[in-house]
Amino acid sequence: MELLMYACAIFALQLIQLSGSLGVSWEEWWTYDGISGPAFWGLINPEWSLCNKGRRQSPVNLEPQRLLFDPNLRPLHIDKHRISGTIANTGHSVIFTADNDTIYNSYSSNSNSMSGMGSNMQISNQIPVNLTGGPLSYRYRFHEIHIHYGLHDQFGSEHSVEGYTFPAEIQIFGYNSQLYSNFSDAVFRAQGIVAVSVLLQLGDLSNPELRMLTDQLEKIRFGGDETPVKRISVRSLLPDTEHYMTYEGSTTSPACHETVTWIVLNKPIYITKQQLHALRRLMQGGPDHPKAPLGNNFRPPQPLLHRPVRTNIDFRSKQPNGKACPTMYKDVHYKANTWKQH
């Protein structure tokens, strides 16, 4: 099997090198299946070697019996104000990216007037959406949202719970704005990225903010299409829960950088069959060469390899099966040695 994978990787690499003279980028070569799929990401491009060799990779399968309750974990906070941005069909995924500036206008006949102009000027102020609290030691600025989904209801999410996968998953990404100036820089650096995973379950009524994104899907039918989205609340995409699981991992697409703190919320939001159908109508390529439908854009679960998965869910109470779950509460005691006088 390993020899077959190696042979396929060599073949793919030769194809890529052949097309290099035509200006084809690495970004156009990776996919979610076949010889350019997840099993080969780390083989076809040496710069993506972490995808195959890394030991802190994402996504993972979350096993409830292995969760560690950490009493020091705080509630996660995401700013509530609305922002604008662009939703795009990248050919790999559906991604909403925040505008660089969410601005408001301030007019004044005095301090905000340009000297000698005789008129008012417009003052623009950045109002970033910040993510703080939870397991985070720094302030993170919201950057983008990724939507992963399957072509069938039985799978689609990247993270799974005890082997159970959901039809879809949205991932909210932010970068460490206290240490780094932008997402592109932070993704290479320690403590650079936070990713909040929200699992999506089928339901009759969808999350309202999710509808704001899926209502635009007809405008991004083909790969490379994009359209603006005005005034969306990232905070309102979250389910009504303060409980989550967290672990240290990676980005789930090449180059699989191991710089991500993952926060997986313990409650899903709902997506309707109609919304999933709209997602499944999207195509990977452009109108002239639409290629295959966009979907099944999820990486398989990666080995946890002894990484702790912490949670703020207090499992100290006995479960129905009578078992108590692990805890990180201190269990401190002292016992003196016995001794005899000689």
Q: pLDDT (tens digit, 9 = 90+) per residue, 25-79? A: 667 789 999 999 999 999 989 999 999 999 999 999 999 999 999 999 999 999 9
> Are 46 and 185 contained in the same domain?
no
Q: Are residues 207 and 78 both part of a single domain?
A: yes
Q: What does the block give as tokens for 228?
A: 């603006």
Which of 185, 174, 142 has its CA nearest to residue 261? Answer: 174
Tell me if residue 45 falls in helix, strand or coil. Answer: coil
Residues 140 and 274 in one domain: yes
pTM: 0.83
* Predicted confidence (pLDDT) per residue in 258-312, tens digit: 999 999 999 999 999 999 999 999 999 999 998 899 999 999 999 999 999 999 9
| Total domain count, the chain | 2
Element (H, E) at 196: strand 193-202
Do 3 and 143 belong together in one domain? no
Q: Percentage of the chain surpassing pLDDT 90?
A: 75
Rounded to an integer, the average pLDDT of 156-172 is: 98
**Residues 229, 284 within the same domain:** yes
- 35, part of any domain: yes
pLDDT, position 316: 74
Domain that holds residue 250: 54-102+128-311
> Distance (Å, rounded) from C-alpha 152 to C-alpha 337?
63
The three-state secondary structure class of 199 is strand
pLDDT band at 105 (very low <50, low <70, confident <90, very high): very low
Instruction: Classify burial at 52, counting beta carbons within 10 Å of its beta carbon; exposed 0-12, middle 13-18, buried 19 or more.
Output: middle
Which of the residues are catalytic?
Answer: 180
- Give domain status of residue 150, yes or no: yes
C-beta separation of 117 from 268 below 8 A: no
**Residue 329, in any domain of the structure:** no
What is the structure's pLDDT at 34? 92
Better pLDDT: 334 or 69: 69
Residues 135, 266: one domain?
Answer: yes
Is the pLDDT at 314 greater than 60? The verdict is yes
